[in-house]
């Protein structure tokens, strides 16, 4: 299901109370749930980011053909049995278990009780679905026969399953959807959630979590030609560095609760910040000779937020760690902000690229950065002086003037998304 198809499907549902009441106010984030290779929960993750603790290491989820990768960002501290009942463990992939727990944490923080189940919904993104579950059941089919395939195979592999399982667990019957635009999808999901809040929804649980560190999933990622072949955790993922040679895959992401600012204020709940602007574009096909349209997505997001480039205090870049893609992103950012005029960071160097989970995790990180007035560093990187970017490397840097941050995500296949968030001050 594409992003457009997901939105069409959700629009064909019976009109809920949320869809019948309009709102043109601000959309704010009231809860964060984070599952990342370098930290579980907001506090542990943010502490790891500020202190440069990496979650990247040798791939341990499975052993075998080294062509499927040597390094990964694995959420090794996550024990599903500590968080979820056994009945859910039997029917869910690890990806969904991460998403369910992150949603639990976000909703607990938001302290929200919608007026009706029809007033709250779930919109997530996915890049692959539950590949680990799917691989296991396919192996059962081949080796043991159909009688040994779990009945839960019918949905546990599906890229919409996180939306469905979160909605069922919390009885959220309002607007639902899933967006599939690879790494850009997480930002697209947040933007669609903002659209539903503006349409009257009291609360949307949104974001993305991915996990595809199994032979089946890794084989699909290797096909892109963008995976790092390094076995050194400190040198495997080096965006905007002359040594850049691909990315390290990771798992995890972030689930957020978003709601109307006036409603959040009336409830007296703490707010992390506002989803202020969004833009998206699609690149021309490789070999066409036409440039990337990423700058257009960024400019659209700024215009949607009612901001100028000078209002942005920090950019959380996509950071593909592929020389051509890094150069295109650097050129796009320089064209909007001017060469080296805004600090740029890629905290993903501590986690690996989390695919659809990367954008929401970067948004969470950006909100925390605005709150604490600090720009986290890009670990291990020696910035290429030929690129027109001010990459924050080595240590975190105090945040300069400006109360907004830009998050950029680019998906395999030409998807570009940009999201602007504002802090609370």
Q: What is the pLDDT of residues 58-67, one digit of tens each?
A: 998 887 667 7
Number of H helices, E strands in the chain: 14, 16
- Percentage, residues of the chain above pLDDT 90: 77
Say which DSSP state 323 is in: H
Say what the pLDDT of residue 8 is.
34
CA 370/CA 423 separation, integer angstroms: 6
Say what the pLDDT of residue 246 is.
93
What is the value of pTM for the model shown?
A: 0.92
Parallel, antiparallel, or unpaired for β 39-40 and 404-411?
A: unpaired
Say what the pLDDT of residue 23 is.
52
Say what the pLDDT of residue 61 is.
86
pLDDT at 15 over 50: no
User: Average pLDDT of the chain?
Assistant: 91
Residues 6+ apart with CB under 8 A from 103: 33, 122, 166, 169, 170, 205, 255
Instruction: Taking residues 115-130, report their average pLDDT.
Output: 92
Say what the pLDDT of residue 152 is.
86
Q: In this predicted model, what pLDDT tens digit does every residue of 365-399 receive, in sequence order?
A: 999 999 999 999 999 999 999 999 999 999 999 99
Q: In this predicted model, what pLDDT tens digit does every residue of 161-208 receive, in sequence order?
A: 999 999 999 999 999 999 999 999 999 999 999 999 999 999 999 999
DSSP string, 374-417: EE--BTT--B-TTSS-EE-BSS-EE--S-SEEEEEEEETTTEEE
User: Using alpha carbons only, what angle is made at residue 415 by residues 339 and 407, rounded to the nearest 5 degrees?
Assistant: 50
Torsion angle defined by CA atoms of residues 255, 93, 127 and 220, in that order, rounded to the nearest 10 degrees: 150
Say what the pLDDT of residue 12 is.
37
Say what the pLDDT of residue 1 is.
40
């Amino acid at each position: 299901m594409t992003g457009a198809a997901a939105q069409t499907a959700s629009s064909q549902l019976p009109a809920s109370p949320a869809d019948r009441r309009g709102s043109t106010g601000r959309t704010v984030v009231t809860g964060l749930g984070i599952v990342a290779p370098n930290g579980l929960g907001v506090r542990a993750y943010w502490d790891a980011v500020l202190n440069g603790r990496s979650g990247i290491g040798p791939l341990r989820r499975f052993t075998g053909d080294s062509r499927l990768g040597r390094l990964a960002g694995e959420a090794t501290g996550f024990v599903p049995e500590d968080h979820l009942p056994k009945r859910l463990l039997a029917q869910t992939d690890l990806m969904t278990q991460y998403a369910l727990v992150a949603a639990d944490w976000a909703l607990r923080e938001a302290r929200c009780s919608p007026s009706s189940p029809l007033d709250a919904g779930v919109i997530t993104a996915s890049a692959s679905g539950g590949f680990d579950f799917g691989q296991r059941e396919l192996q059962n089919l081949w080796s043991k026969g159909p009688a040994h395939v779990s009945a839960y195979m019918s949905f546990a592999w599906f890229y919409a399953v996180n939306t469905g399982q979160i909605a069922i667990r919390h009885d959220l019957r309002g607007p639902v959807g899933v967006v599939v635009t690879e790494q850009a999808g997480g930002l697209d999901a947040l933007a669609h959630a903002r659209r539903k809040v503006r349409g009257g929804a009291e609360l949307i649980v949104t974001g993305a979590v991915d996990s595809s560190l199994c032979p089946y999933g890794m084989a699909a990622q290797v096909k892109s030609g963008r995976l790092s072949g390094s076995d050194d955790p400190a040198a495997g993922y080096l965006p905007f560095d002359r040594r850049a040679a691909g990315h390290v895959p990771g798992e995890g992401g972030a689930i957020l609760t978003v709601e109307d600012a006036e409603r959040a204020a009336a409830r007296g709940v703490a707010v992390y910040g506002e989803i202020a602007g969004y833009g998206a574009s699609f690149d021309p096909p490789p070999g066409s000779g036409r440039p990337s349209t990423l700058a257009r997505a960024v400019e659209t997001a700024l215009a949607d937020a009612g901001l100028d480039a000078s209002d942005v205090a920090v950019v959380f870049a996509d950071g593909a760690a592929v020389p051509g893609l890094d150069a295109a992103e650097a050129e796009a950012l320089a064209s909007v902000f001017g060469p080296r005029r805004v600090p740029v960071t890629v905290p993903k160097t501590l986690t690996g690229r989390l695919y659809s989970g990367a954008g929401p995790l970067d948004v969470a990180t950006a909100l925390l950065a605005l709150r604490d007035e600090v720009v986290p560093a890009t670990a291990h990187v020696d910035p290429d002086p030929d690129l027109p970017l001010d990459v924050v490397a080595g240590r975190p840097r105090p945040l300069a003037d400006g109360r907004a941050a830009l998050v950029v995500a680019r998906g395999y296949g030409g998807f570009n998304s940009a999201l602007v968030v504002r802090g609370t001050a």
